[in-house]
Amino acid sequence: MGRLFGTDGIRGTANVDLRPPLAYALGRAVAYELAGAGGCLVVGQDTRRSGGMLVAAIAAGAASMGTDVRIAGVLPTPALAFLAGSGAFAAGIMVSASHNPADDNGLKVLDSRGLKLDEPAEDALEQLIWRAEELGGPRNAGIGRVADAPDLADRYREDRRRLAAATPCDLHIVLDCANGAGGATAPEILAATGARVDVIHNQPDGVNINDGCGAMAPASLAAEVVARRADLGFALDGDADRLVVVDRHGRVVDGDQLLGVCALDRLARGALPGGILVVTVLSNGGLEAALASAGGRLVRTPVGDKYILEGMQVTGAGLGGEKSGHVIVLEHASSGDGVVTGLELLAILGRAGRPIDELAAAVPLLPQEQRAVPARRKEQWEADPVLGAAIEAARRRLGAGGRVLVRPSGTEPALRVMVEGADPATVRELADALAALAGERLH
């Protein structure tokens, strides 16, 4: 049996391979390992219909171990992280599959610091999940109390509104909430800057989260930015921990360029500790070159925002992120937060007095292509000699300035292929060829 925890918690198709018994067992395991009898667990969810079902199961499991549970309702993952790290809770569990389709869901565990667990801690929880019924539990008087606590989200709102108030802005912004959890908090926080905020895709019905909208599908946002003659657009994903930016012309700003704009601004102000930006192995070589030319340095980690944070902790960096739009600004948050990223960018635009498209042009990128290949045997790619030979041949063809990265997805049954190099036609050809071969060999 494969490992339950991927790069971002436990994920699966809700009520198919992610059922209430697993959520119940996780609740018991987290209560046993992180909270204990008399402790308190905070649980939140995004707008998926399956969220309430899984929250109820988690709460029942934790209460059966004597742990109190506070159900915070629909709120962003960074808000749940903020609450978990507030000192009032022993741990937190967020029920969300982030940017994935509505039929999926996920279980993300956070410790008392509001941080995602490292792999040894996840492994310990996984062992407890498999023997959850052996953990025992108290009789009636010792059972934990479960209570709805929707007002908990106000603590996050107040903190982010203070940050927004310190970021005066007179721009016109179109905000795409992805019909997700960010709609509960993001519009009012961004409006607290003084910006004019037009909100779209904020009518969640349990099944339309990330459906043709949000960070994974910003085309409708781009059209609205142009139609409304706005200065820029912000697209959140389903749990609002990432942000995709659209410029005034309706063009999506590459995530590596967004990171570069933030890093170069902080580097120029002496506010980038060690001159270091932490990114994943997927980030573009052009970002590395732009930062190096300004006197900074790039540090790469495996894919996943928890690895970004670990890299930041090891290097002492204050800024890190993924090209997907996960950005960690450590002085404000210990996890990716789409609203914080937006406020960071608005502050930069205010200082520069220039639009985002002009600032992004300072971070020219190398041609890069990514492919997601459905693969039943995704973990076996390194053992396939034919695929291995093709990868090495592609690297030789690209030369010293090129890169080929192949890795199994941590969130879905797929193999991910990335090719980067100087010539766009060659990069595209090699990406297509490797993806096709991987599909044949690992189906």
Say whether 251 sits in a helix, a strand or coil.
coil
First to last CA, the chain: 18
- The H-assigned helical ranges of 199-337 are 219-227, 255-268, 285-293, 305-315
Q: How far is CA 262 from the centre of its chain?
A: 18
Element (H, E) at 397: helix 385-398
- Residue 98 bears catalytic tag: yes
Residue 374: what residue type? P
Q: Which of 98, 283, 324, 334 is catalytic?
A: 98
Burial of 191 (0-12, 13-18, 19+ CB in 10 A): middle
Q: Which residues neighbour 213 within 8 Å (Cβ) at sequence distance 6 or greater?
A: 176, 178, 179, 200, 201, 220, 221, 235
The encoded tokens of residue 240 equal 């609002």
Q: How many CA atoms lie within 13 A of 165 on its CB side?
A: 6
Q: In angstroms, what CA-CA distances link 130 with 29, 103, 123?
A: 9, 25, 11
Rounded to whole angstroms, how far apart are CA atoms 30 and 227? 48
Check if the beta carbon of residue 264 is closer than 8 Å to that of residue 272.
no
Cβ proximity of 185 and 164 under 8 Å: no
Phi, psi values for residue 254, rounded to 5°: -55, 140
Separation of CA 242 from chain center: 5
Residues with active-site annotation: 98
